[in-house]
Amino acid sequence: MKVVIGVVLVLAAIFGISPYFVGGKIESAAQSQLSSYQMPGYQYSLEVERGYRSSLLTYGFSLDPQIFAQTMTQDEIDEMAQMFEQFEFQVRVQHGPLLTQNGLGFGLADAYMYFDGEGVPNLEEAMDLVGVDYLFEASGRMGFSGDGRAEYNIPAMNFVNPETVSASSFAGMEGVAEFEKFGLYSKTSATSEGASFGLQEGSQVEIGKISLSSEMNFQEGMAWLAYGDSDLSLESVSVNADGKAGILEDLSFEVSVSPGDSQESTDIEYRMGLDFFEAEDLSLDDAEVAILYENISNLAMQRYMELAMKLPLGDEQAVEAALMQFAITELPDALQLSPAIELPIVAFSHEGRSFVASFRTSIDQQLLPDTVSFMRPDLLIPAVTADLSLDADESLVMDLLAWQAANSVDASFAEDSGFELTPEMRQTMIDQQATMSLGIAEAQGFVLRNDGRVKSNLHLVDRVLDINGTEMPLPF
């Protein structure tokens, strides 16, 4: 009996003390997280009204407009100062173990956030115009193991512009976030039925279903670095303006961040694709482009983030000088990780004709000179490896060269009002320039033409450039 009473007393003590203890831990963790985002000219603040079972966290953001003093008038600075005097939103957190804020259950904490624009100049008026009472709402729960789930939503909005007699709307968005290890791992997804924007009378942009998703593993001790994937997809985008129309179908953007070849480096890949595009006389199918940065120095990225927080944004010359000095300082160590830049694919088709290309260049740190200088890039050539591949329909290549030639011809005669360029003369010049460009590239061996295809394969290694099977040693 004494044992049972003892257990009951222990449990009662835990239930009685833990809510206040958990509240203190939540407050200290929030303050610590916020401190990592402070930067000159910007100020983030956190005020906590902590009670026994719940706390109210008020996050604030303010901006010092003087950082733009080099590019703004004093009146503009004063206006911005009023706008960003203090931007706030609140999060109400209920401490465990017994939680009731988001439904009865057990866990470390329940959180609820509701942002209605209160206290932000002109925002409440703008919300009235689009017919919403709030801009963002979220609620969720964290369990004892550090795992949790939250749901969030952005309301639907509608706006009619009386000046342009146009209407815009947004269908709203709903999403779910799941997290583990106290937020070190997170997985999110959100969808919207789309949006419509009236630019002016008779002009409209329609966006179909929108989907967002991400899966991230945040690295302990590095709040700015997370490994994982994020993507955005738009079912369709159509534009009608000035009697012209264009449409995109199945447009997607993807970002992937993963560990590099060593613990000191990271790989980042950006990818964009679309199934179909059509506007005026141009149409594309199955277009895809990707760019991959390999073995980027984690230390250089961290130092860049620290530098970015201190840049005087209003002084363009000072920013350029700081970035140049950063590149000069970080280059020698960054190259020791054998970085690479790659375009794994650049592909599309037009009227049944295809274009496929890829490119990659990398640094072999074992072949670097003893001293790496930003001012002597030619000394890096022995350590550079590069590959380029191209395979395309010849008629499509000619169309691309003709498009480039048209821009060149039009630019050449744009300011020559004394010469009348007839359509026939313009087309002749375009055809001649496009044909000559491809002919020169073939004569010099940079491309091969065979059975209606244009191909090229270039390789650079050990200071020897291989152009479609013909080796050319570099003179430096």
User: What pLDDT digit, counting tens, does each position of 12-21 carry?
Assistant: 444 555 666 6
Are the C-beta atoms of 173 and 154 separated by less than 8 Å?
Answer: yes
Round to whole Å and give the CA distance between 52 and 48: 13
Residue with tokens 């020698």: 332
Q: Please report whether residue 244 resides in a domain.
A: no
Please choose, from the candidates 336, 369, 364, 330, the residue with its C-alpha nearest in 3D space to the C-alpha of residue 265: 336
- Which ranges constitute the DSSP H helices of 96-137? 123-130
Residue span of the structural domain in which 36 resides: 1-155
pLDDT of residue 40: 59
* pLDDT single digits (tens) 430-472: 899 999 999 999 998 999 999 999 999 999 998 899 999 999 8
Give strand pairing partners of 294. Answer: 340
pLDDT of residue 99: 87
Round to whole Å and give the CA distance between 457 and 446: 8
Of 384 and 98, the one with more pLDDT: 384
The count of other CB atoms within 10 Å of the CB of residue 242 is 8
pLDDT of residue 213: 97
Tell me 26's DSSP state. H
Q: What is the overall mean pLDDT for the chain?
A: 84
Three-state DSSP class for residue 101 = coil
The count of other CB atoms within 10 Å of the CB of residue 161 is 14
Q: What are phi and psi of 363, to 5 degrees?
A: -115, 130
Round to whole Å and give the CA distance between 349 and 353: 5
Cα angle 378, 381, 387 (rounded to 5 degrees) comes to 135
pLDDT of residue 240: 87
* pLDDT single digits (tens) 36-72: 655 556 677 888 888 888 888 888 777 666 666 656 6
pLDDT of residue 310: 73
Number of domains making up the chain: 1
Per-residue pLDDT, averaged over 5-25, amounts to 55
Q: Please report whether residue 443 resides in a domain.
A: no
Q: How many CA atoms lie within 13 A of 319 on its CB side?
A: 11
Peptide bond just before 155 cis, omega within 30 deg:
no
Q: What is the DSSP string of 281-308?
A: TEEEEEEEEEEEEEEEEHHHHHHHHHHH
Are the C-beta atoms of 176 and 164 separated by less than 8 Å?
Answer: no
- Which ranges constitute the DSSP H helices of 73-160? 74-83, 123-130
Q: Please report whether residue 61 resides in a domain.
A: yes
Q: What are phi and psi of 400, to 5 degrees?
A: -65, -40
Give strand pairing partners of 287. Answer: 274
Q: Please report whether residue 412 resides in a domain.
A: no
pLDDT of residue 316: 78
Distances (CA, A) of 94 to 24, 26, 27, 32, 332: 12, 10, 12, 20, 50
Tokens of 103: 């439904």
Three-state DSSP class for residue 320 = helix
Least reliable range by pLDDT among 16-20, 101-105, 203-207: 16-20
Q: Please report whether residue 395 resides in a domain.
A: no
Distances (CA, A) of 362 to 382, 399, 404, 456: 11, 32, 29, 20
- Model confidence at 229, pLDDT cuts 50, 70, 90, reads very high
Residue % of the chain over a pLDDT of 90 = 42
pLDDT of residue 373: 79
- Model confidence at 212, pLDDT cuts 50, 70, 90, reads very high
Round to whole Å and give the CA distance between 340 and 384: 9
Q: Please report whether residue 410 resides in a domain.
A: no
pLDDT of residue 83: 62
Of 35 and 335, the one with more pLDDT: 335
Which of 236-245, 341-350, 376-385, 429-438: highest mean pLDDT?
341-350
Per-residue pLDDT, averaged over 397-418, amounts to 81
Are the C-beta atoms of 269 and 256 separated by less than 8 Å?
Answer: yes
Q: Please report whether residue 53 resides in a domain.
A: yes
Q: Please report whether residue 119 resides in a domain.
A: yes
Per-residue pLDDT, averaged over 300-306, amounts to 85
